[in-house]
Amino acid sequence: MSIAGFVTLLFWLATATLAVGLARRARLWAAGQSAEVNWSGLLAIPKRYFVDLHHIVARDPYIAYTHMATAGGALAALALVALNYGLALYWPSLDLAILAAALVMLIGAGFVWWRRREPLARLSRGAWDRLPYTLAAFAAGLALVVALPPAILSAGIAAIALILLLVGSAELALGIGLGGPMKHAVAGLLHLAFHPRPERVAGVRSTALKPLDLGERDFGVDKPADFRWNQLLGFDACVQCGKCEQACPAFAAGQPLNPKKLIQDLVAGLAGESDAAYAGSPYPGIAVGAHAGSPDLPIVPSLIEAETIWSCTTCRACVEECPMLIEHVDAIVDMRRSLNLVRGEAPGKAAETLANLRETETQGGFTNAARYNWAADLNVKVAKPGVPVDVLFIAGEGAFEMRYQRTLRALIKALKAANVDFAVLGDLERDSGDTARRLGDEATFQALARRNIETLDSIPFRRIVTPDPHVLHSLKNEYRALGGNYTVLHHTTFLASLVHNGRLALKLSGERRRLSYHDPCYLARYNGEMDAPRDLLRMLGLEVSEMERSGLRSRCCGGGGGAALTDIPGKQRIPDIRIEDARNAGAEVVAVACPQCTAMLEGVVGDRPEILDIAELVAEALGDRP
């Protein structure tokens, strides 16, 4: 058989192997629950791959160029081989194009080897260490076959070329079926087509959790097969790059969570395997190899320990960094829902807080009538059903904390200075349900949300203003699925607009203390608002010295997702790490814009920067600090 004929045979053999492997993997995905998908997503793969995915990959220029060369060269080479050898055309001109693509791929494989020569701690090892060599083998073998004319291609060189091609083809063809490193290539492309949040790959920021249908006894995820099939597909897309691990605040604090390991555990559980083959960073304090699972067996504790699931702050740093657009937080909350709703489990103070929410509609068990006691001397209008108002002010749970009441008073005074027509809800205000939902108590969240929607719909207003990003996110994004559609603004956004419109005159600060701004997760990552707080600080004449991690990549304060309540121990506290970030930036003041951030960062003991909400800085510029 000629070399060309052998390549044709190998192509169709590899294609058949790939198809069999994909069918095997698809049977595992099919064990999941049904999901609504748009099959036209298959046609959108090129755009989603080259644009939506690569804008995240491009944050690391080295790996972006590496991926472009390796994957781009491989895709081009495979497409050309399919044309020239799959159809037995054997055109020399196509061989030249295949050679060019193979050389580009070979260069990319060299970049992969160089990255793994002294690998970053976040990268998985094991089978992934062979990838540079098998990719290079495929590219080199293909280049030799098409570059050397049959007349000068000796039997020895031909054998070497074909062996290289066979080794490289095996990596590509067997990857999906055997769960090898190249599994991510096929699963990743399909994941882009059938993403659980299709709006996200259309350029829309999508962060709201999807409600459970409690009437249909949908109580979350207890076993791998309880996930929707396209979620399971998404887990298989993981490339084990560890960018989620590097971004995770819980992992950094030594708590027993690593988002990469969690996704790989779910992959192992789906396939009915143990975690023994995992070759990356473990969960801090939990050894690798002691856990196993099955599609129809409970995840906790045989596959994943409960404390791992409760360590998450739901900050979405992992999701924001993932180059494969995997939704780690959705998976974690789905598992929390089962632990909470079915097993009745919630560690630390979470159970008491959830009981308070059910009984008093506040997290601390307070009476709602006391929520605005701090405003008794401010002559604040209280909203009444049927009475129109421009701005409805919602304080959130921070209203019960003495420290945050200073921020609220500052904000009220700023609104009054701008002659804003606003009113508070008074004793009609209740908790938004954010904490309950993140802790997995979907029933309490929905009960609170529906009562809040009934209250809000009884009051004519144009917009809601709140200083709490968690309230902002719930009312703006998560209430929509339950029928609540409102214009909701964060207080920094609203104050910045008042200054821009000339309604609020600020005196430039003469202060020269070095200041950093801490982006709240639920304001920046969840809602994309990063400019307004910084605009306000600049309007105050303050220079912002950015911390190393800011904006979309800001480090969490540790207060979200109920983490301050579950209080899973680690080697250090997340807010301590964030304050260290501020110290490294030389900050004497850290400006914040969230009650949870205020509480967590002010809870750091020892010498630290002063913590001030932006509303307090605005009040200072009005000549009156509360």
Q: What is the mean pLDDT of the chain?
A: 95
- The span from the CA of 147 to the CA of 316, in Å, is 48
Same domain, 612 and 565: yes
pLDDT at 357 over 80: yes
Q: Does 320 score more than 70 pLDDT?
A: yes
Count CA atoms closer than 13 A to 21's CA, side-chain side.
23
Q: Is residue 110 part of a domain?
A: yes
Residues 233, 170 share a domain: no
606 CB contacts (<8 Å, ≥6 apart)? none
- The residues, any chain, with a CB within 8 Å of residue 567's CB and separated by 6 or more, are 347, 348, 349
Model pLDDT, residue 56: 82
pLDDT-derived band at 509, boundaries 50, 70, 90: low
Q: Which residue has the tokens 């939990």?
A: 286
Taking residues 163-169, what's their average pLDDT? 93
* pLDDT band (50, 70, 90) for residue 1: low
State yes or no: pLDDT of 290 exceeds 60.
yes
183 vs 179: CA distance, rounded Å = 6
26-56: pLDDT as tens digits: 999 999 999 988 888 999 898 888 877 777 8
Instruction: Place 151 in a pLDDT band, splitting at 50, 70 and 90.
Output: low
pLDDT at 624: 52
506 inside domain: no
* Alpha carbon separation from 50 to 56, 62, 72, 192, 199 (Å, rounded): 11, 16, 10, 11, 17
Confidence of residue 626 (pLDDT cuts 50, 70, 90): very low
Q: Say yes or no: 33 and 84 in one domain.
A: yes
- Residue among 622, 64, 587, 149 at smallest CA distance from 323: 64
Provide the pLDDT for residue 157: 84
The angle, 0 to 180 degrees and rounded to 10, between the axes of the packed helices 531-539 and 491-500 is 50
Please check the confidence at residue 318 and state whether its pLDDT lies above 80.
yes
Q: Could you tell me what percent of the chain has a pLDDT over 70?
A: 98
Question: In the predicted model, is pLDDT for residue 153 greater than 90?
Answer: no
Please tell me whether residues 185 and 280 are part of one structural domain.
no
Determine the Cα–Cα distance for residues 589 and 376; give it in Å rounded to an integer: 30
pLDDT of residue 158: 82
State the distance between the two ends of the chain, measured CA to CA, in whole angstroms: 88
Statement to judge: residues 185 and 127 lie in one domain = yes
Crossing angle of helices 531-539 and 614-621, in 10° steps, is: 30
Q: Average pLDDT for residues 457-469, to the nearest whole number?
A: 98
Q: What is the band of 148 on the pLDDT scale with cuts at 50, 70, 90?
A: confident
In a domain, 505, yes or no: no
Given 280, 308, 341, the domain boundary residue is 341
pLDDT, tens only, 383-406: 999 999 999 999 999 999 999 999
Beta strands in 274-399 (DSSP E): 389-393
Same domain, 387 and 250: no
Q: Quick one: pLDDT band at residue 625, thresholds 50, 70, 90?
A: very low
Quote the pLDDT of residue 405.
97
Q: Worst-scoring range by mean pLDDT, 293-297, 331-335, 538-542?
A: 538-542
Does 310 lie in the same domain as 413? Answer: no
**Distance from C-alpha of 191 to C-alpha of 234, rounded to nearest angstrom:** 5
Q: Please, is 376 exposed, middle or buried when counting C-beta atoms within 10 Å of its C-beta (0-12, 13-18, 19+)?
A: exposed
Whether 476 and 525 map to the same domain: the answer is: no
Cβ neighbours of 43 (radius 10 Å): 10
Tell me the C-alpha distance between 249 and 257, whole Å: 9
Same domain, 166 and 43: yes
Q: 413 and 315 in one domain?
A: no
Identify the pLDDT of residue 507.
85
* Residue range(s) defining the domain that contains residue 421: 360-500
Residue 154 has pLDDT above 50, yes or no: yes
From 190, 322, 332, 183, select the one nearest 262 (Cα to Cα).
332
- Statement: residue 159 has pLDDT above 90: no
* Least confident among 36-40, 166-170, 323-327, 454-458: 36-40
Higher pLDDT, 74 or 625: 74
Pair 381, 389: CB distance under 8 Å: yes
Q: How much is the pLDDT for 48? A: 86
Strands of 471-523, DSSP E: 488-490, 515-517
Q: Please tell me the pTM assigned to this model.
A: 0.95
H-state helical runs in 219-325: 229-236, 243-247, 249-252, 259-270, 306-310, 317-321
Q: From 500, 534, 564, give the residue that closes a domain.
A: 500
Q: Does the residue 352 lie in any domain? A: no
Q: Assign residue 274 the CATH number of its domain.
A: 1.10.1060
The answer to whether residue 116 sits within a structural domain is yes
Would 509 be classed as within a structural domain?
no
Query: 379 near 401, Cβ under 8 Å?
Result: no
**Residue closest to 106 by CA, chosen among 44, 159, 157, 168:** 168
- Distance of alpha carbon 84 from the chain centroid: 42
Residue 445 lies inside a defined structural domain of this protein: yes
Q: Which of 440, 468, 500 is the C-terminal boundary of a domain?
A: 500
**Helix or strand or coil: residue 471?**
helix
Task: Note whether 113 and 107 are within 8 A (CB).
Answer: no
State residue 202's pLDDT score.
81
Q: Is the pLDDT score of 453 beyond 90?
A: yes
Interval 174-232: pLDDT, tens: 999 889 999 999 999 999 999 999 999 888 899 999 999 999 889 999 999 999 999 99
Domain total of the chain: 4
User: Quick one: 470 and 528 in the same domain?
Assistant: no
Residue 154 inside a domain? The answer is: yes
Q: Say if residue 203 is exposed, middle or buried (CB neighbours under 10 Å; 0-12, 13-18, 19+).
A: exposed
Q: Are strands 389-393 and 488-490 parallel, antiparallel or unpaired?
A: unpaired
Helix axis angle for 402-417 and 491-500, nearest 10°, is 30
Give dist(CA 497, CA 415) in Å, integer: 12
Q: Which long-range contacts link 316-319 to residues 24+ away (Cβ below 8 Å)?
A: 316/207, 316/521, 316/525, 316/526, 317/244, 317/247, 317/248, 317/249, 317/521, 317/525, 317/553, 317/554, 317/555, 317/556, 318/244, 318/245, 318/247, 318/248, 318/259, 319/244, 319/525
Rounded Cα distance, 257 and 50, in Å: 31
| Predicted local confidence at residue 57, as pLDDT | 85
Q: Are residues 154 and 225 in the same domain?
A: no
- How far apart, in whole angstroms, are the C-alpha atoms of residue 288 and residue 115? 25
- What does the angle CA 396 – CA 402 – CA 403 come to, to the nearest 5 degrees? 90
pLDDT in tens, 68-90: 999 999 999 999 999 999 999 99
